[in-house]
Structure 1
Amino acid sequence: MNIQDPDARNLLYAEFPLYYTWNKSKKVWKRRKRGGCIRRIYMVHPNENFDDLKTVDGVVCTTFKESAQQRGFLKNDDHHCQCLNKAREFQMPNQIRNLFATLLIFEDLTDLRQLWNENFSAMAKNFALRGIPERQHQIQAVLRHINQFLQRHSKTVTDYNLPELMPEHNSEELPMTLIEELSYQIDPEELAKADILNEAQCAVFAEVMGLISRNEKV
C-alpha cells in the first residue's frame, strides 16, 4: 500500500483501518468510501471477585493497597522501621525527632502514621520526663520540634499525614520557649565527670556554674 498510495505512508498501523478496508476476495486494501469504522471491544469476565484481589494467604486485607503491599508489589517501610528501631537504642529523643523529620523529607514512606505511632513515645520521652504530662501537649511539642526541622527545607508538618499542629497562640498549649527549654536532656555521665576534675578545673567549673545560677554572663 505504501507504494501504491502515498497517503498510506502517513498512517500508523493502528490508524490504517480508519481509512482503508480489507477485501478478502482480492486480498487487497481499498480506500474507504465513507468515514468511520466499527471497532471490536474485547471483554474478559473474571472468575474471581474483588475480595479475592484483597485476599493474601487466606487473609482478607482491609484495602487494595494493603493487599499490594503484602504481595510485594509496593515498597514498604521495613528499612525505615529498622533505622528508627536502632536509633531508639542509642540516640536521644531530639535526635530521633530529627531522624524522623529527615525520613519525611528524603524518603517515600508507605505508612507514615504507623511509623509515627511506633516511635512517638521515644520522640516524646524527654518532654514526658520534664514536666509535660499530658499526651496532647507532648504531641504538640514533638510536632513543633519536627516542624522547625522541616521548615529549613521549605516544608511543614501539614504536608504529611501527621496529627494537626495547633496554632502557637492557643492558650491551652505551652509556649514554644518553654518547650525548647524543657527539651534539653542532661546526660548523667557528663555530670559525673565533674567529680574527676582537677583543682584548677574545679575552680573554673564552680565559677561558671555560679554565674549561670545567678543568671549572669560568663
Structure 2
Amino acid sequence: MPNEQTFIVDDDAENADSEAALRKPTKLMAYFRLNQIDPDARDLKYPEIPEHYVWEDRDGSWSPTDMEKIYLRMLLAHVAGSTSFEALRTVNETVCETFQEACRRMGLLERVDEYDRCVIEPANNAPPKRLRRLFALICLVAVDNAALELSQLWLNHRIALMDDFLYAGNDESFTGVKLSINPSNKLKTLIIP
C-alpha cells in the first residue's frame, strides 16, 4: 500500500547500514521507477519483469538482463567506427529496436563462434555463478542450427563454469558433468551425476 512499504533490517546491522536500507527502493517502487524511465518495461506486467530485467540489490533497481549485453558485445566485435548505440543497432540503414535484432539481421546469431566469444571475455573476470547464468541464457536463445554446438561451448568453458565447485574440492563429483541436447525436441539439459 502507498506509504506502507515493508523493510527488513538486520538487528545486528550498523546504524548507517539500516539507514541506507531504508533509503533503497523496494522492488515495487523500483518497478514504478523503471516504467517511468524505460518505455519497453511499460509493456510488461509486474510478474514478467524478472524475465526481462535483473534485480540489482546493491542500489535497488531493475536493469536489463545480460542478453542485450551479449548482443552488444557481438556487435562491438563486428561493427567498426560506430559513434553511438543507435549506430551499432543500424543494419543496412535501418535502426533496429534492440541489439538482438541487429545481430539477427547481420546473421551473427547463426554463428556458434559468436556465442563462444561472448563467454571468453567474462570468463576472465566474472564469478562462475554469473558465467553459468550467461551460459543458461545462451542455451535459451541459441538458434536451431547453433543449438547442436552448445555441447562444444560447454566443453570449451566447463572449467570456468565450474571453477567455484572445483575450488571447493568437489572436482571428483563433477568429472561426469556433460551437456545433453536432444535435437528432436531441442531439449537442452545439463547433466550432473
Shorter-chain TM range is: 0.3 to 0.5
TM-score (norm 2): 0.34
TM-score (norm 1): 0.31
Q: Which has the higher strand share?
A: 2
Rg (Cα) greater in structure? 1
